[in-house]
Amino acid sequence: MVMRVNRFLFLLGALAGLAPIEFAAVTPDPQTPKKPVSTKYQDVTVEDPYQWLEQDNDPQVKAWSDAQNQRTRQYLDRLPDRAAIEKQLTEWYAKTSPSYSSLVSRPGILFAMKFQPPKQQQLLVRLTSADDLKSEKVVLDPNVLDAKGTTAIDWFVPSLDGKYVAVSLSKGGSEDGTLHFYETATGKALPDTIAHVQYPTAGGSAAWNADGTGVYYTRFPRKGERPDADLNFYQHVYFHKIGTPDSEDTYSIGKDFPRIAEIALEAARDGKYVLATVANGDGGDFAHYLLAPDGTWKQITQFSDEIKIARLGRDNALYLVSRAGAPRGKILRLPLDVPELKNAAEIVAAGDAVIEHIVPTSDALFVGDLLGGPSQIRRFDLNGKSETIIPLPQISAVQEMLALEDGSLLFRDISYTEPAAWFNCPNQKTEPVKTALRSTSPVSFADIEVRREFATSKDGTKVPLNILFRKETKRNGQNPTLLYGYGGYGISMSPNFEFTRRLWFDGGGIYVVANIRGGGEFGDEWHKAGNLTKKQNVFDDFAAAAEYLIKENYTRPEKLAIQGGSNGGLLMGAMITQHPDLFRAAVSSVGIYDMLRVELAPNGAFNVTEFGTVKDPEQFKALNAYSPYHHVVDGTKYPSVLMMTGANDGRVAPYHSRKMTARLLAANKSENRIFLRTSSSAGHGIGTALSERIKQLADTYAFLFAQLGITEELTKH
């Protein structure tokens, strides 16, 4: 989960020695029944007192979860800032300009996802260009389909001529998508639908054939095709002809792929080829397959080849990012008339930058690089020559790159202090021009300074910190500080803009993002130094970041809070159990805490390539050494914790949050409170309605304000 915040008039917050705020009495911590279950892993027997909380549909579990929610609401709703925070956030969102993402180009048409508060969900629109907002037409508005705002667009793929668009729709944050088809010009739905093309375990994808008469698409097994335990695994590719029932769809490829394969499809601009990128779970290894004009699939790369990105060019070539002997990436070009990896030639050598995006156009190759967090863009000719740097705002991130029909480049750039904007870099030119697709903020960040400093981890590794604060902030050790981290899957914590952080800054707060190991900020080596048996490095890096902020007098433990979600929730759990005295409060969303049973859940099996498995002796040893749930110690004084989860989460089972909450409640001997908040209308966070997102944010910041002793007076700006 990415934190959001915004402007309040600062009154009393962050005064030296101000005590955390506690209000009306809360229902005492409930006594959760223990029903111990013993399991032997390798030669170690592990007792689990709360395994019974794993059963989502058990009436006793539902009653327990409801009681926790009531207790949490009782506390949060009595905080004096809570209602005012939600009101202010709602007003800010209503003033927010539309934002555009997921752009796709077709001849004469730009498709985009448009977020336009107060609409609950993003809608799909089309434009004639990025500079002609008057040309915008709505193709599909899920808010019209579903007045409750719980239906979301997972992804969309236009036909190569732009006449039709395939759209995956899911409900309630479940990400369980059904494929629908629409006419671009009219928004009219075609009768065709295909169920279960998308699920959180492996995602989903589609690619149109050359003449727009059908699509190749991913699909999970149907009931009866495999055992029930496998219905969210074994993703295959099928072909659907428009106007025919999906029962007549033909199998294309996938039977030889791993159980945890995740398939992404891409069609060449002329439709001659279809590329399938197959991930082996979530660990970052990929194989690539090419569907040739003769209708046969050919494997181009294997998982062991270390090809991380593949893109079809417009010159009958495949462009590849290889990390074989190049942890930060080098670029290869493979002619499609001899599609074997041995025929690929290196055209851009490895360097200090991590290659994150490649976009081949008709006569150029644009490369998006990562420089430890911030971005840069380089332009080459198609042979990797004539390198030029495209100027970008300082300490910013390029989130998307797109080639247009005329060979120019569109890219979306964002920073910590400026909202996202799409830029156009015309063909043969290097100076980007801001387009009409730009966001504005209801509040200014002109007074916010961004510093990039480095903490030293336990083993001596330098860990970058991005520190945001108001320019007049004094380093006196009294500042409320929120430290955010993730550290997994090679995902980089690049600069991003969240206008709602204004709330935190106006409370005198400092906001910090740590670029810890496990991410991809410095390439494969940085990722692999924080996965599998080396996961402890991630926690050591984050602890070092907290210690640095205290040592450098930005804050002190009583004024420090930490936040993370999903894999970052695991990070929160490790910090709570390994360093309970280092911070005052933690907000942990949709987190993973029982690392010995995580692989038993459908999506957990996909995570084995990132975390490891209890079936491997060394990996079990590492998992057992840090698994947060198993390292809660009775009688320990724990910080205040707000656990947040979604009942429809298909990525991380909600039971992780239930079990961790129960264990902390039983063990905690401090006066600090442990709370669990379960949203019945959300999942992992993707597709969550805007109103629910605002409520989650209001709960988060009311909790943090209370715990860190911040008092605010909400004022309209």
Pairwise CA distance, residues 603 & 653, whole Å: 8
In sequence order, the 6+-apart residues with CB closer than 8 A to the CB of 200 are: 174, 175, 176, 603, 649, 650, 651, 683, 684
Rounded CA-CA distance 263/322 in Å is 19
What are the two backbone dihedrals, phi and then psi, of residue 46, each rounded to the nearest 5 degrees? -120, 130
Contact 159, 211 (CB under 8 A): no
Which positions ≥6 away from 363 have C-beta within 8 Å?
A: 381, 382, 407, 427
Task: Please state whether beta strands 151-158 and 137-140 pair in parallel, antiparallel, or not at all (unpaired).
Answer: unpaired
Work out the burial of residue 11: count CB atoms within 10 Å of its CB; fewer than 13 is exposed, 13-18 middle, 19 or more buried.
Answer: middle
- What 3-state class would DSSP assign to 611? helix
Please give the span between the terminal C-alpha atoms of the chain, in angstroms, as a whole number.
Answer: 27
Q: 320: helix, coil or strand?
A: strand
The amino acid sitting at 52 is W
Active site residues: 566, 684
Helix and strand totals (H; E) in the chain? 12, 40
Q: Using CB atoms within 10 Å of the CB of residue 394, give its burial: 0 to 12 exposed, 13 to 18 middle, 19+ buried.
A: exposed
Q: Which residues pair with 168 in a beta bridge?
A: 155, 179
Tokens read off for 300: 């181009």
> From CA 523, how far away is CA 466, in angstroms rounded?
18
Cα–Cα–Cα angle for 678, 31, 695, nearest 5°? 20
Q: Which of 275, 303, 273, 298 is nearest to 287 (CA)?
A: 303
